[in-house]
């Protein structure tokens, strides 16, 4: 075992990355420009990257190292959030940036990368530790993985890891194919499947909230919780991604991955230790406990929607079928709502309502835990604007945009008589911790570079998620929907409200 660094101070120092290099495939793409390089620069600014850290960018475009550095500099200046651009820091960071052009189907591309890595390792001493990042179209994953394996890059002097971006297939069969492809070159412990939702501070805070406090966990079960609503709404439409989105849809794009991961985090059992394998085992166990619907159940447990044109605040918004690149007859779900049940002792009979949609009234992601009403309505004589016993206690975990936690409870309205009014107790990240929250990509990049897979998904989790959405996809594929069925700027189709009304529930207005 390697000797430990005696200069460590865990109370004061930030988590740091040890010497290594990063190779980004798809370095000319949007993700690299908007997220990866700004996140890496931010880490350099906070001195969390090791001296000698190197990044090799790869794509088919022929550009020089200097041109690549200049492009990345412009990206950092444009997309860096909440921080200043420091010329000195950039110069040092940019000295580690280089570029290798090449086609992912061409073996020469990988030989060139291998040779560049060797040169850089001699110069910058990162001990052969390399993280490969697939930031390409999923259709190129196979070529890249095969190329890395054939060139011997999946194993080397130090550690080798691979980050893969979603989608991890478009159904169970294709996700298994991707898995097989990955394993031709990499072991499972080398593969980091990124779900950037899990990197968000507030999603991580769910674990802190549940397992760091003693007061909520005893209530966290079917006895006290009526139902749970998870909402991920976007106010924007497909924003030029129409061609991609019409093949994906909300169920595949959001629910199968991000929202089921959130649901697993909300509902999983406490792990014995806070270690990657233990946390991921519990998440996976929960995902496997979600009831898989029979075809007959889908009509009453899942709703598909697609937005139509509307005038919002004087602005004419096109319907999905009117977006550029979208088939005018597209059957794509731009809205999906599903009622899931978890078949275990803790959650038996508790509905988990999950919805996600585009062109909703606002951008919001939150989780609402609706507690049961008091068992006996003591204050039924109340004449306040609406009966308080109809509004049981509600705990809201806000993921974005105003990250925080609210607990709603009833309080006596001042004055004579017993009039009750709901009040809210608020915790806001922004007010309790003035420090900047790291972006999801900063968190996840540091984790992958440090070998911490806690916030990454695993193949068994991916498969379990596909398992629960596959019957819905199959059922919807065999139907012709009468789309559009909700107007842009609204909270989705009426059928979605009807789905909750079946159990006497209603969607919250976030």
Q: How far is the CB of 223 from other proteins (least distance, A)?
A: 30
Clarify whether 258 is annotated catalytic: yes
Q: Which residues pair with 227 in a beta bridge?
A: 370
- Residue 461 near residue 280 (C-beta atoms within 8 A): yes
Q: How far is the CB of 465 from other proteins (least distance, A)?
A: 32
In the complex with other proteins, which residue's Cβ is closer, 5 or 383?
5
Indicate the SS3 state at residue 29.
coil
Residues 107, 152, 324, 401: which binds other proteins (CB under 8 A)?
401
Residues 30, 66, 67, 86: which binds other proteins (CB under 8 A)?
86
- Residue 484 near residue 304 (C-beta atoms within 8 A): no
N-term to C-term CA, the chain: 51
Q: How many CB atoms lie within 10 A of CB 344?
A: 16
Query: By CB under 8 A, what part of segment 113-172 binds other proteins?
Result: 124-125, 127
Q: How far is the CB of 434 from other proteins (least distance, A)?
A: 3
Task: Give the residue from 140, 66, 70 showing the smallest Cα distance to 109.
Answer: 140
Q: How far apart are CA 395 and CA 398, in angstroms?
A: 10
Q: How many residues bind other proteins (CB under 8 A)?
A: 36
- Residue 271 near residue 193 (C-beta atoms within 8 A): no
Burial class (CB in 10 A: 0-12, 13-18, 19+), 249: buried
Q: How far apart are CA 358 and CA 246, in angstroms?
A: 12
In the complex with other proteins, which residue's Cβ is closer, 45 or 266?
45
In the complex with other proteins, which residue's Cβ is closer, 50 or 319?
50
In the complex with other proteins, which residue's Cβ is closer, 383 or 431?
431
Considering only the stretches 89-97, 239-247, 359-367, 457-465, report the one whose residues sit in contact with other proteins under the rule CB under 8 A.
Answer: 89-97
In the set 179, 196, 227, 258, the catalytic residue is 258
In the complex with other proteins, which residue's Cβ is closer, 215 or 477?
215
Cα three-residue angle 247-249-253, rounded to 5 degrees: 105
DSSP string, 479-495: -------EETTSS--HH
Q: How far is the CB of 15 from other proteins (least distance, A)?
A: 11
Q: How far is the CB of 91 from other proteins (least distance, A)?
A: 6
Angle, nearest 10°, between helix axes 87-94 and 65-79? 140
In the complex with other proteins, which residue's Cβ is closer, 16 or 140?
16
Q: Is 215 in the site for other proteins (CB under 8 A)?
A: no
The site string for other proteins over 413-452 (x = CB under 8 A, - otherwise) reads: -------------x-x-xxxxxx-----------------
Query: By CB under 8 A, what part of segment 5-24 binds other proteins?
Result: 5-9, 11-14, 16, 18-19
What is the strand order of the sheet 352-357 is part of?
302-305, 335-340, 352-357, 225-233, 364-371, 394-400, 404-412, 420-428
Q: How far is the CB of 126 from other proteins (least distance, A)?
A: 8
In the complex with other proteins, which residue's Cβ is closer, 223 or 428?
428
DSSP string, 457-484: B-HHHHHHHHHHHHHHHHHHHT------
Q: How far is the CB of 426 from other proteins (least distance, A)?
A: 6
The site string for other proteins over 353-392 (x = CB under 8 A, - otherwise) reads: ----------------------------------------
DSSP string, 185-215: HS-GGGEEEE-GGGGSHHHHHHHHHHHH-SS
Q: How far is the CB of 13 from other proteins (least distance, A)?
A: 5
Q: How far is the CB of 118 from other proteins (least distance, A)?
A: 16
Q: Is 47 in the site for other proteins (CB under 8 A)?
A: yes
Considering only the stretches 1-9, 103-111, 177-185, 219-227, report the one whose residues sit in contact with other proteins under the rule CB under 8 A.
Answer: 1-9
Sign of CA dihedral 120, 126, 129, 130: negative
Phi, psi of 59 (to 5 degrees): -160, 180
In the complex with other proteins, which residue's Cβ is closer, 449 or 462?
449
How far are the Cα atoms of 4, 25, 449 from residue 18, in angstroms, in the given order? 12, 22, 8
Residues 29, 31, 34, 52: which binds other proteins (CB under 8 A)?
52
- Residue 50 near residue 17 (C-beta atoms within 8 A): yes
In the complex with other proteins, which residue's Cβ is closer, 428 or 479?
428
Residues 21, 24, 37, 50: which binds other proteins (CB under 8 A)?
50
Give residues in contact with other proteins (CB under 8 A). Answer: 2-3, 5-9, 11-14, 16, 18-19, 47, 50-52, 86, 88-89, 91-92, 124-125, 127, 401-402, 426, 428, 430-435
Catalogue the active-site residues. 258
């Amino acid at each position: 075992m390697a000797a430990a660094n005696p200069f460590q101070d865990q109370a004061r120092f930030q988590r740091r990355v040890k010497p290594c290099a990063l190779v980004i495939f798809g370095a000319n793409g949007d993700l690299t420009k908007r997220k990866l390089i700004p996140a890496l620069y931010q880490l350099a600014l906070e001195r969390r990257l090791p001296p000698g850290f190197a990044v090799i960018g790869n794509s088919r475009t022929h550009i020089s190292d200097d041109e690549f550095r200049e492009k990345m500099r412009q990206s950092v200046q444009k997309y860096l959030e909440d921080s200043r651009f420091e010329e000195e820091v950039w110069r040092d960071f940019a000295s580690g940036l280089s570029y290798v052009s090449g086609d992912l189907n061409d073996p020469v591309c990988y030989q060139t990368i291998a040779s560049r890595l060797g040169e850089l390792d001699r110069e910058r001493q990162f001990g052969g530790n390399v993280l490969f990042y697939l930031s390409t179209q999923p259709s190129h994953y196979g070529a890249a993985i095969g190329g890395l394996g054939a060139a011997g890059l999946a194993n080397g002097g130090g550690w080798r890891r691979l980050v893969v971006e979603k989608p991890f297939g478009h159904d169970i069969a294709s996700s298994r194919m991707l898995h097989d492809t990955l394993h031709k070159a990499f072991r499972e412990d080398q593969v980091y499947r990124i779900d950037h939702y899990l990197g968000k501070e507030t999603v991580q805070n769910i674990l802190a909230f549940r397992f760091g406090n003693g007061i909520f966990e005893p209530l966290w079960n079917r006895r006290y919780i009526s139902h749970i609503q998870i909402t991920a709404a976007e106010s924007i439409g497909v924003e030029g991604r129409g061609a991609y989105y019409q093949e994906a849809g909300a169920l595949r794009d959001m629910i199968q991955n991000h929202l089921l991961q959130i649901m697993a985090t909300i509902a999983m059992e406490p792990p014995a230790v806070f270690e990657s394998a233990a946390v991921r085992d519990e998440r996976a166990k929960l995902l496997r406990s979600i009831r898989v619907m029979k075809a007959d159940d889908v009509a009453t447990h899942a709703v598909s929607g697609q937005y139509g044109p509307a005038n919002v605040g004087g602005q004419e918004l096109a319907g999905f079928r009117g977006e550029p690149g979208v088939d005018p007859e597209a059957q794509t779900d731009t809205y999906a709502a599903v009622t899931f049940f978890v078949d275990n002792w803790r959650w038996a009979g508790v509905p988990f309502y999950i919805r996600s949609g585009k062109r909703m009234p606002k951008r919001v992601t939150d989780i609402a835990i609706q507690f049961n009403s008091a068992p006996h309505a003591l204050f039924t004589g109340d004449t306040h604007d609406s009966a308080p016993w109809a509004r049981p206690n509600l705990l809201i975990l806000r993921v974005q945009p105003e990250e925080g936690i609210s607990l709603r409870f009833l309080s006596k309205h001042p004055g004579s008589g017993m009039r009750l009014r709901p009040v809210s107790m608020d915790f806001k990240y922004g007010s309790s911790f003035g420090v900047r929250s790291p972006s999801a990509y900063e968190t996840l990049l540091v984790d992958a570079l440090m070998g911490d897979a806690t916030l990454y998904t695993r193949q068994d989790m991916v498969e379990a998620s596909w398992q629960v959405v596959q019957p819905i996809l199959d059922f919807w594929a065999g139907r012709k929907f009468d789309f559009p069925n909700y107007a842009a700027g609204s909270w989705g189709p009426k059928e979605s409200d009807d789905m909750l009304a079946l159990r006497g529930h209603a969607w919250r207005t976030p």
